[in-house]
C-alpha cells in the first residue's frame, strides 16, 4: 500500500447526493478542496456545472453510472478526468477508485477520512492525477479481480454488520439488556483484528467440541442455527486450506 502526501490543484464536480457523495463533500470541505455539486434537482444544467472543472466524480448508484457518463461525457474538455467509486463496476468510460470503508448517515472525523484506502485498477493513471489533493493511501488490483474483491467487501463488512445488528436485537429485546453494553465486545474484537497476531478466540479456536455442540443445541430452531453451522464449515475449510499452504 502506498501513501500519497503530495497535492495538486484540481476542481471537482461531485455528481450525486447519496451517502458517499455527502461524505466526500464533507471531506473535501474539511481539506479545503475546490468542488461543485450536481444532482438531479440542480437548478444549473450539468454543462454549466462542468465549466472549469478538472475532475468529475460520479457518486451515484452503480446501475446509473454508465448511462450518466455516456450521456454527459461529451460535454466539456477532453482533458477532464471522470471517476466512479464503485467497487464492482468496470467501464471504459471512467476510471475506478473504490474507497474501502462503510458509509452511514453520520460523518467521520477528518483524520479518519485520511486513512481510508482506495482500491485502484492496475495500469490506470497515478493516484495523484486521479484524485489530486487527497492524502489517502491506495492499492491496486487487476481489472479481472474487481468482482471478487467487491464480493469479499460485502462478506466482510455487510454480513458482519448484520450479525452485530442481530446480536444487538437479541440483547435488547430478548434479554432486556441495553445494546450499548455490546460495544466493548465489538471494540475488543476490532482491536484484536487490528493488533493481535492471532485475533480469533472462543470455542472454534480452542476446538472445544462440547461447547460448540451446546451452542448448536441452544440455537436450534432459530435463524442463526444454520448460520452457525455454515461458519463451522467455513472455518474447517479455511483451516484445512492453511495446512496445505
Domain count of the fold of the chain: 2
Confidence of residue 76 (pLDDT cuts 50, 70, 90): confident
Instruction: Output the pTM of the full model.
Output: 0.89
Mean local confidence (pLDDT), 193-217: 95
pLDDT at 9: 74
- Evaluate the CA torsion angle 194, 195, 201, 207 in order and state its sign: positive
What average pLDDT does this structure show over 198-202?
93
27 and 131 fall within a common domain: yes
Same domain, 13 and 110: yes
134 and 156 part of one domain: no
Instruction: Return the pLDDT at 183.
Output: 97
Average of per-residue pLDDT values in the chain: 94
Boundaries of domain holding 51: 2-141
pLDDT score for 5:
47
154 lies in the same domain as 118: no
Give residue 3's pLDDT band: very low, low, confident or very high (50, 70, 90): low
Q: Is the per-residue pLDDT at 73 higher than 50?
A: yes
Residue 66: pLDDT over 50: yes
Nearest to 69 by CA among 115, 113, 15: 15
Q: Is the pLDDT of residue 121 over 60?
A: yes
Q: What is the pLDDT confidence band of residue 242, given thresholds at 50, 70 and 90?
A: low
**202 lies in the same domain as 109:** no
Q: Please say if the pLDDT value at position 33 is more than 90.
A: yes
Amino acid at each position: 500500500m502506498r501513501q500519497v502526501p503530495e497535492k495538486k490543484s484540481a476542481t471537482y464536480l461531485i455528481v450525486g447526493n447519496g451517502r458517499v457523495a455527502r461524505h466526500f463533500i464533507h471531506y473535501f470541505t474539511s481539506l479545503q478542496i475546490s468542488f461543485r455539486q450536481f444532482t438531479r434537482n440542480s437548478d444549473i444544467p450539468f454543462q454549466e456545472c462542468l465549466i472549469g472543472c478538472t475532475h468529475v466524480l460520479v457518486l451515484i448508484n452503480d446501475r446509473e453510472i454508465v448511462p450518466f457518463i455516456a450521456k454527459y461525457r461529451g460535454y466539456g474538455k477532453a482533458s477532464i478526468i471522470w471517476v466512479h467509486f464503485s467497487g464492482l463496476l468496470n467501464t471504459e468510460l471512467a476510471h475506478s477508485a473504490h474507497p474501502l470503508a462503510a458509509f452511514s448517515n453520520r460523518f467521520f472525523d477528518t483524520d479518519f477520512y485520511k486513512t481510508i484506502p482506495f482500491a485502484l485498477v492496475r495500469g490506470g493513471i497515478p493516484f495523484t492525477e486521479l484524485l489530486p489533493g487527497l492524502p489517502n493511501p491506495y492499492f491496486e488490483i487487476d481489472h479481472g479481480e474487481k468482482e471478487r474483491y467487491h464480493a469479499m467487501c460485502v462478506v466482510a463488512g455487510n454480513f458482519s454488520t448484520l450479525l452485530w445488528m442481530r446480536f444487538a436485537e437479541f440483547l435488547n429485546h430478548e434479554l432486556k439488556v441495553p445494546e450499548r453494553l455490546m460495544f466493548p465486545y465489538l471494540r475488543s474484537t476490532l482491536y484484536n483484528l487490528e493488533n493481535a497476531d492471532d485475533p480469533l478466540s472462543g470455542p472454534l479456536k480452542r476446538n472445544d467440541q462440547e461447547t460448540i455442540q451446546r451452542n448448536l443445541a441452544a440455537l436450534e430452531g432459530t435463524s442463526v442455527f444454520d448460520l452457525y453451522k455454515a461458519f463451522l464449515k467455513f472455518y474447517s475449510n479455511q483451516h484445512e486450506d492453511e495446512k496445505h499452504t
